[in-house]
Amino acid sequence: MSELILHHYPTSPFAEKARLLLGFKGLSWRSVNISPVMPKPDLTALTGGYRKTPVLQIGADIYCDTALIARRLEQEKALPAFFPEGQEMVVAAFAAWADSVMFQHAVSLVFQPESIAVRFGKLPQEAIKAFLADRAGLFSGGSSTRLSAEQAKHQWPTIMARLEQQLQREEGDYLFGEPSIADFALAHPMWFLKATPVTAPLVDNYPAVAAWLARVLGFGHGASSEMTSEEALEVARNATPAALPDEQFEEPNGFEVGQQVIVAATDYGCDPVAGELVFAGSEELIVRREDERGGVVHVHVPRFGFRLEGH
C-alpha cells in the first residue's frame, strides 16, 4: 500500500488541521517540508499549479484542500469517523464555516501590526516583506475579501460567546458530542491565534473553548518520518494512479470525461490546474496530468469551492 505523504510546513494552520486529522486516525505518514511562499517547484510539479498548503500525496494521486483530504483519510481508515453517522451534513457544513469565516477572522487578528511584531520579531525585514507580499498575491483574484482587524475584533466576542455557551452545555467533550471534522476545522484557527501572546488571550479568555481546544490538540499528529521533495517526486513517477471511484454522476454543466479542463479554487489561491477530466463525482473532481518530473498523476480537488472550466 502506498504511503501517506503530507506536503506542509510547521506554521501553516491548515497543515496543522491535516496533521491533527492524521493523529485522530492514528495513521503513520511521511513529512515533506515545503516553503511557506512561492515558488514551490517540487510541489507544483505534482499539483500542476495548485499552491496552497497542505497537499496529501498517495503514490501518483495528489489530494488538494483539507476538506477533500479528510474524506480521503476516512476511506483509508473508517473509524474513528470524521463524519459520524446521522451528522454528516451538520459537521461538514460547520467545518466549511470554520475553514472560511473563522479562518478569515484568525488571519486578520494574527496579521495585525502588534501580532506581526511578535510573530516575526526574529526575522529580517526583507523576509517579512516577502512573506506579506506573497500572502497579498495569494488572496488576490478570488472571492475571499479581506476582513479588517478592526471588524474581526468587533465580531470576535459574538463568535466566542456562542462557542463558549455551546461547549458549556454540550453533553460530550466536543462540538457535537463525539469528535468530528467540525472540531478539527475549528481548532486550527484557534491554534493559529495561540501562537503569540498578543492573540492567545482571544482563546484563553474563554475557559470552555480553551479546554475543548486542549482536548482536540491532544489527539497529536500520528507517527511521521521525514521525506525529501525529490523522494516524493520519485514516488509519483514510479507509481500508477489508483483506480477511479465507481460512482456514477452526471456532470451538471455538461463536462465529459476525457475533456481538457481547468480546475481552480474560487476563494483564494486560485492558481489553475489544467489537465484531462477523468472523474466527476458529488464530492471530488479528478484531473489527469503529466509532468516531466512527477510523471502521470491524478490531481483530486473538491467540487465544493472549486470551479471547473473547459480548457
Half-sphere exposure of 222 (CA within 13 A, CB side): 22
Count of beta carbons in the 10 Å neighbourhood of residue 13:
21
When pLDDT is cut at 50, 70 and 90, the band that residue 117 belongs to is: confident
Q: Would the pLDDT of 310 be above 90?
A: yes
- Quick one: pLDDT at residue 162? 98
Residue 120 C-alpha cell reads as: 516575526
Distance CA 258, CA 277 (A): 5
Distance CA 177, CA 83 (A): 12
CB 142 within 8 A of CB 267: yes
**Residue 75 pLDDT greater than 80, yes or no:** yes
C-alpha cell at 98: 470554520
pLDDT band at 137 (very low <50, low <70, confident <90, very high): low
Q: Which domains does the chain have, with CATH numbers?
A: 4-80+223-310 (3.40.30.110), 88-217 (1.20.1050.10)
Name the nearest CA neighbour of 65 among 30, 107, 104, 15: 15
- C-alpha cell recorded at residue 133: 507580499
138 pLDDT tier (thresholds 50, 70, 90):
low
Which residues lie below 8 Å from residue 36, measured CB to CB, with a gap of 6+? Answer: 9, 11, 12, 53, 131, 134
Alpha helices in the chain (DSSP H): 13-25, 41-47, 66-76, 88-97, 103-110, 113-119, 125-138, 149-169, 181-193, 201-204, 207-217, 229-238
Q: Could you give the CA distance from residue 140 to residue 185 in angstroms, rounded to a whole number?
A: 23
Q: What percent of the chain has pLDDT over 90?
A: 82
User: Quick one: average pLDDT of 156-165?
Assistant: 98
pTM score, whole prediction: 0.94
Q: Report how far apart, in Å, the C-alpha atoms of 77 and of each of 37, 58, 180, 279 are.
A: 32, 14, 14, 23
Question: Which range has the worst mean pLDDT, 122-131, 140-149, 183-192, 202-211?
Answer: 122-131
pLDDT exceeds cutoff 80 at 129: no
Is the four-CA dihedral 121, 140, 44, 242 of positive or negative sign? positive
**% pLDDT > 70, the chain:** 96
39 preceded by cis ω (within 30°)? yes
Cell for 63? Answer: 489530494
Between 36 and 134, the more confident residue is: 36
189-220 per-position pLDDT tens digit: 999 999 989 999 999 999 999 999 999 999 99
Mean pLDDT, the chain, as a whole number?
Answer: 93
- Rounded to an integer, the average pLDDT of 160-184 is 96
Q: Does 1 have pLDDT greater than 90?
A: no
Q: Order of strands across the sheet with 295-302?
A: 223-226, 28-33, 4-8, 55-58, 61-64, 295-302, 284-291, 273-280, 260-265, 306-310
pLDDT digits (tens, 9 = 90+) for 29-56: 999 999 888 889 999 999 999 999 999 9
Model pLDDT, residue 142 = 73
∠ CA 206-210-215 to the nearest 5 degrees? 155
Of 63-72, 143-152, 255-264, the range with the lowest mean pLDDT is 143-152
The reported pLDDT for the residue numbered 249 is 87
Q: What is the mean pLDDT of residues 9-36?
A: 96
Max Cα distance, the chain (Å): 55
